[in-house]
Amino acid sequence: MEKTQTQPVDINGNHFKRAGFVLVLMVGTFLTIINQTLLVTALPKIMLDLDISAINAQWLITAFMLISGIMIPTSAFLLNTISNRKLFFAAMVSFAIGTVICALSTTYNTLLLGRIIQAIGSGLIIPLMQTLMFLVYPVERRGEAMGLVGVVIAFSPAIAPTVSGWIVDYFNWRYLFYIILPIVVVNMLLAFFYMRNIINLTKPKIDFFSILLSSFGLGSLLYGISVAGNIGWQNKITCFSCVTGIVIIILFSRRQFKLSQPFLELRVFKSRTFTLSTIIVAIIFMTMIGSEILLPIYTQSIKDFSALQSGLILLPGAIVLGIISPISGKLFDMYGVRKISMIGMFILAAATFPFLFLTKDTATWWIVCLYSIRMLGMGFVMMPLATAGINALSNDLISHGSAINNTIRQVFASLGSAVMVGVMSATITAYSNNYEGSPLLPMLKGLNNAFMSAFILISIAFILCLFIKSPINIKELNK
């Protein structure tokens, strides 16, 4: 049991147990994040069952990412307007209702509606969890806290293809939602006892125009990035959506600097540490999501593996990431961010390079080992750097920093799949036009080039790590 003096305190000055509070947050976030990639390997079965096209099926994932991304920026405002306990329950209720609709759906439109309602809860719960985890731990243990955050943020999407592959191979795809629903209900019951209010509300004045700009700007940008993987970056729809989104986000940003109570406090970017760490983590997350899409394509298209077998290849890496994240958090508390992140970046770069030379005969055990080593490197990079960035902010800006951090990561996650799949598709098209041999060779060349783009991005992130200061000056922003 924790000693009284180390126990967290709610807004009424009452001590409470940190363990139950953290458990509720982690389980809730795990359930919402796993849904981002849960349907990836289930889409063929859903297409067959509901008689829909591949483009419509892809919208079950794209719409979830879009709505979730749009909701994330509003979390900072809501955390200062509504008690964190009520906000947590609102997010989980929305997610539960969406899950029920998905489980019972018999048409495509109903399933899409359920995914949208799920995404509303998911978009709120992710930054909420990160903010509360920072505030419930003392500064000297925030690395440990973010290590736990890393378990769910990185481990959830990594394990989803394995779970999904097993279920859709042996059961109906609706069991993906049937299994999740009772866990959601149990977690809400636990939250009734363990969730406490720890944020003093400032109740800022609502700026509806900022909400509109944020929603339309981010929604347009995410839509453009999402469809780019299917229709190409040169397509007019892609270009118009991305450009429109960027222009509206610029207008939104200019408005925030003029407001006395901004909807989203962009002053956090005055912190060099926060800015650099956010960009680096987003790039790494981008390559992680992209790789999780590319490897199943390789194993199923080139090696003729089943969805379950493809998922099992990713499973050891997911386990490694889940184990190393809390360890790297404690190492951050002991040694700071610079040493840990540089070691992690070197491991990540070294384990990514061999993927540039995949062949049809590449041994499966070799792929599993390399992927696991990549995840080891990511575990040493993502959460320590995220912790360093948020640690550089004052407590009143943590909710804004978490919202911005998660928003950028969401954009880069979509960008990662669009860029890497786009590189693969463009290479396949170029080689297929001038090649009359086995169709597998253009596919392999496309995969190799896609991993080359990941290696280049990792190299850029490695260079940026050189500019991260250690130890972190927590008062940096207020200088």
Please give the full DSSP string across 31-98, using - where no structure is assigned.
Answer: HHHHHHHTTTTTHHHHHHHHT--HHHHHHHHHHHHHHHHHHTTHHHHHHTTS-HHHHHHHHHHHHHHH
The pLDDT of residue 327 is 83
Given a contact cutoff of 8 angstroms between Cβ atoms, the answer to whether 121 and 95 are in contact is yes
Partners of 15 in the β-ladder: 9
Which span out of 44-58, 194-208, 347-361, 420-434 was modeled with the highest average pLDDT? Answer: 347-361
Would you place residue 100 in the very low, low, confident or very high pLDDT band (cuts 50, 70, 90)? very high
Please tell me whether residue 9 adopts helix, strand or coil conformation: strand
User: What does the pLDDT read at residue 118?
Assistant: 92
Residue 54: predicted pLDDT: 66
d(CA 273, CA 468): 6
8 A C-beta contact, residue 388 and residue 472: yes
The percent of the chain in helix, strand and coil, each rounded to the nearest 5, is: 80, 0, 20
What's the whole-number mean pLDDT along residues 184-212? 85
Mean local confidence (pLDDT), 308-322:
80
More confident residue, 348 or 170: 348
What pLDDT, on a 0 to 100 scale, did the predictor assign at position 55?
67
Buried b (16+ CB within 10 A) or exposed e, 79-106: bbeebbbebbbbbbebbbbbbbbbbebe
**Model pLDDT, residue 69:** 80
Q: Is the pLDDT of residue 306 over 90?
A: no
Residue at 55: amino acid letter: I
Phi, psi of 443 (to 5 degrees): -65, -45
Of the given ranges (106-115, 175-184, 336-345), which has the lowest mean pLDDT?
336-345
pTM greater than 0.95 (yes/no): no
Calculate mean pLDDT across residues 191-208: 82
Question: CA 18, CA 138: separation in Å to the nearest integer?
Answer: 11
Contact 226, 63 (CB under 8 A): no
pLDDT in tens, 126-154: 888 888 887 888 777 777 777 777 777 76
Domains of the chain from N-terminus onward: 13-204+263-478 (1.20.1250.20)
Structure letter (DSSP) for residue 140? G
Cα–Cα distance between 21 and 276 in angstroms, integer? 30
Residue 444 to residue 299: CA distance in whole angstroms: 11
Task: Report the candidate in 37, 8, 191, 41 with the shortest Cα–Cα distance to residue 115.
Answer: 37
Q: What is the mean pLDDT of residues 11-25?
A: 85
Q: Residue 1 — pLDDT band, cuts 50, 70, 90?
A: very low
pLDDT of 237 strictly over 60:
yes
Can you list the positions of beta strands (E) in 137-222? none
Alpha-carbon gap, residue 134 to 141, rounded angstroms: 9
Quote the DSSP letter at residue 298. Answer: I
For residues 286 and 457, is the Cβ–Cβ distance under 8 A? yes
Query: Looking up tokens 């080359």, which residue turns up?
Result: 452
**Packing angle, helices 208-231 and 54-71, rounded to 10:** 150
The secondary element (H helix, E strand) that includes residue 416 is helix 398-433
Contact 295, 314 (CB under 8 A): yes
pLDDT beyond 50 at 473: no
Question: How confident is the model at residue 183, as a pLDDT?
Answer: 92
**Please, what is the average pLDDT of the chain?**
82
Of the ranges 220-229, 239-248, 429-438, the best mean pLDDT one = 239-248
Mean pLDDT (whole number) for 101-127: 89
- Among 291-300, 352-361, 377-386, 432-441, the least confident range: 432-441
| Residue among 137, 139, 101, 138 nearest 120 (CA) | 101
* pLDDT tens-digit map of 261-274: 788 888 888 888 88
Exposure string over 5-23, b if 16+ CB within 10 A, otherwise e: eeebebeeeeebebeebbb
Give residue 2's pLDDT.
43
Q: Tell me: pLDDT of 3 over 60.
A: no
- The confidence band for 370, taking pLDDT boundaries of 50, 70 and 90, is very high
Q: Indicate whether 474 pLDDT > 60.
A: no
Side chain identity, residue 114: G
Who wins on pLDDT, 70 or 232?
Answer: 70
Higher pLDDT, 249 or 261: 249
| Residue 68 scores a pLDDT above 70 | yes
Instruction: Among 91-95, 199-203, 420-424, 445-449, name the most confident range.
Output: 91-95
H or E segment at 305? none
Angle at 276 between CA 273 and CA 279, to 5 degrees: 140
Within 8 A by CB and 6+ apart from 37, the residues are 61, 157, 160, 161, 164, 289, 292
